[in-house]
């Protein structure tokens, strides 16, 4: 196991290099550059300005040359400035945006996994019962409803309609990170109480989708397992304790859940663009999207390489967890 893990970590190094090269190349090869935007933003710009600006922004430098500069700096720990925000890219991502994103995605993932697994098992055990149909129906409603719609509707409901209908008894803020002027100096309880009020709706919307997906996988996987021989044998033998069977089955049915979690944990760090946008939550998802579109290379690279690293690491962790969940899984 240990040698397997070590081998995987060694494979990671060249893989990450290749990924960084491809990401940089793709970003660079996208059409358009900052100077194009200036040309179309300003009818008074002159050809000589265009030439000068192209030089200044290195718009005509071949991308592999730029990549090499980036790589040599990055190896020394210098990840450069965000061109759009004029602050160090690492500061922008790790200090300004990532904490906000984690504040939404981590609670959403934990809560939804805790809710979805028992619901999924329940749905599987009661396959084709009324509650199973209802859960199926609800989970597909949750996954078919677009975030822009459900997000705006819950905002309208909790920030406009309910406050009016209940005379302010039920009232949530219409998006944002926190009340204006509220900062940690107001005291721990006051600050986090305020922040929590702003978190409720976006976390709820994020959870809807995650619950529906985990629930479906859990249900399917549990069904696959309890129909398998060993469980049927156990049943047929009249094993007295149902819970023993289910414990055994649960363990075996967790593999897809581990896979799905392993795939979605890196996503915790990439944020959820749509939810962040609808709830005015300054997270990493929007930052990444904006920086990709405007070719803010240093931000793109910090963001995507962190993501790539996490993706690769979590695939390894997933594989190691398989072995824990089911000791018969071995790597040679």
Partner 1 sequence: MTATTTAPAEQKSYSTFQLAMRKLRRHRAAMISLTFILLITLVALFAGVIAPHDPNAQDLANTYGPPSRNFPLGQDDLGRDLFSRIIYGSRISLAVGFSVAIMSALLGTFMGLLSGFFGGRTDTVISRFIEFMLCLPTLPLQLVISGLFVSSDKPFIVNLRNNMGPSASVFIIISVFVIFGWMTNARLVRGEVMRIRNLEYVDAARALGASNNRIMWRHLVPNILGIIIVSATFDVGGAILGEAALSFLGFGIQPPVSTWGNMLSNAQEVVLQYPWLPFYPGLAILFTVLAFNFLGDGLRDAFDPRARH
Partner 2 sequence: MKKIVALSAFLLGAALASPANNSLVIGTSQEPPNIMDPWVTNNLAISTEVNQWMGAGLTGRNNDGSLYADIATTVPTLANGLYKENKSGGKVVSNSLTYTIRPDAKWSDGTPITTADFEFWLKVELDERVPAPQRYPWDGAKITKKDDKTFTITFNPPYLFAQVAGAPGLAPSKQMAAGWAAFDSATKGMKPGEALNDQWTKFISQYTTSSNLPQVVAGPFKPTSWKPGNSLTLTRNTNYWRKPQGGESKYIQSVIYRFIPNTNTLKVNILSGQLDAVATVGLTFDQALDMQKRQGNKFTTFFAPGAVWEHIDVNTRGQRSKDLGLDDARVRQALLYSVDRAALVKAMFQGKQPVSNTFVNPLAPVYDKDVMAYGFDAAKAKSLFAAAGWKPGADGILEKNGKKMILNFSTTAGNAVRERVQQILQAQWKAVGVQVNIQNYPASVFFGPDMLSKGESGKWDLAMYAWSADPTLEGGDLFKSSAIPNAANGYSGQNNSGWSNAEYSKLQKQSETEFNAAARSKQFAQMQAIWAKELPSLPMYFRANPYTRVNDLVNYDMTAITQYPTWDAYRIGWASKGAVSAHTQK
Q: Which helix (H) or strand (E) holds 252?
A: helix 242-270
- Closest listed residue to residue 272, CA positions, set 189, 196, 191, 207: 207
The one of partner 1, partner 2, none whose footprint includes residue 277, by CB under 5 to 8 A per kind, is partner 2
CB 183 within 8 A of CB 191: yes
* 25 or 131: CB nearest partner 2: 25
- Closest listed residue to residue 89, CA positions, set 311, 321, 295, 302: 302
188 scored as a contact of partner 2 (CB under 8 A): no
The piece of 60-68, 132-140, 168-176, 235-243 that touches partner 1 (CB under 8 A) is: 132-140
The one of partner 2, partner 1, none whose footprint includes residue 102, by CB under 5 to 8 A per kind, is none
Q: Which of 17, 30, 87, 99 binds partner 1 (CB under 8 A)?
A: 30
164 scored as a contact of partner 2 (CB under 8 A): yes
Could you tell me how many residues of this chain bind partner 1 (CB under 8 A)?
Answer: 66
161 scored as a contact of partner 1 (CB under 8 A): no
Residues 78-97 that bind partner 2 (CB under 8 A): 80-81, 83-87, 91, 96-97
Q: Which of 64, 68, 149, 161 binds partner 1 (CB under 8 A)?
A: 149
Q: Is 308 left (phi over 0), alpha (psi -120 to 50) or beta?
A: alpha
- Closest listed residue to residue 217, CA positions, set 142, 117, 135: 117
* 271 DSSP assignment: -
Q: Work out how close the CB of 233 gets to partner 1 at its nearest, in angstroms, rounded to a whole number.
A: 10
CB 103 within 8 A of CB 269: no
* 21 or 53: CB nearest partner 1: 21
Q: Which helix (H) or strand (E) holds 148?
A: helix 147-155
Residue 202 CB coordination number (10 Å) = 26
The one of partner 2, partner 1, none whose footprint includes residue 312, by CB under 5 to 8 A per kind, is partner 1
CB 23 within 8 A of CB 71: no
289 scored as a contact of partner 1 (CB under 8 A): yes
Residues of the shown chain interacting with partner 2 in the complex, contacts defined by CB under 8 A: 30-33, 36-58, 61, 66, 69, 80-81, 83-87, 91, 96-97, 100, 148, 151-152, 155-156, 159-161, 163-164, 173-178, 180-181, 277-283, 286, 293
């Amino acid at each position: 196991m240990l040698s397997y893990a070590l081998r995987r970590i060694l494979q990671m190094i060249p893989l990450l290099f290749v990924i960084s090269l491809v990401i940089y190349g793709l970003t660079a090869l996208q059409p358009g550059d900052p100077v194009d935007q200036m040309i179309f933003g300003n009818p008074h710009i002159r050809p000589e300005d265009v030439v000068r600006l192209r030089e200044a922004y290195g718009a005509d430098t071949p991308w592999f040359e730029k990549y090499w500069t980036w790589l040599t700096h990055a190896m020394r720990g210098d990840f450069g400035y965000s061109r759009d925000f004029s602050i160090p890219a690492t500061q922008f991502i790790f200090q300004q945006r990532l904490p906000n994103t984690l504040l939404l995605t981590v609670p959403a993932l934990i809560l939804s996994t805790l809710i979805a697994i028992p619901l999924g098992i329940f749905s599987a055990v009661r396959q084709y019962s009324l509650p199973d149909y209802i859960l199926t129906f609800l989970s597909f409603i949750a996954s078919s409803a677009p975030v822009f719609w459900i997000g705006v509707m819950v905002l309208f409901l909790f920030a406009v309609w309910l406050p009016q209908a209940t005379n302010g008894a039920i009232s949530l803020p219409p998006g944002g990170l926190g009340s204006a002027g509220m900062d940690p100096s107001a005291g721990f309880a006051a600050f986090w109480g305020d922040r929590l009020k702003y978190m409720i709706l976006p976390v709820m919307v994020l959870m809807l989708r995650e619950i529906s997906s985990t629930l479906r996988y859990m249900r399917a996987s549990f069904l696959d397992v309890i129909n398998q021989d060993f469980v049927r044998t156990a049943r047929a033998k009249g094993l007295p304790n149902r819970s023993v069977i289910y414990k055994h089955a649960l363990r075996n049915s967790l593999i897809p859940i581990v896979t799905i979690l392993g795939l979605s944990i890196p996503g915790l760090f990439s944020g959820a663009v749509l939810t962040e946008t609808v709830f005015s939550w300054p997270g990493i998802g929007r930052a990444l999207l904006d920086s990709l579109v405007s070719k803010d290379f240093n931000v793109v690279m910090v963001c995507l390489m962190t993501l790539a690293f996490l993706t690769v690491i979590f695939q390894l962790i997933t594989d190691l967890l398989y072995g824990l969940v089911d000791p018969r899984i071995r790597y040679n």
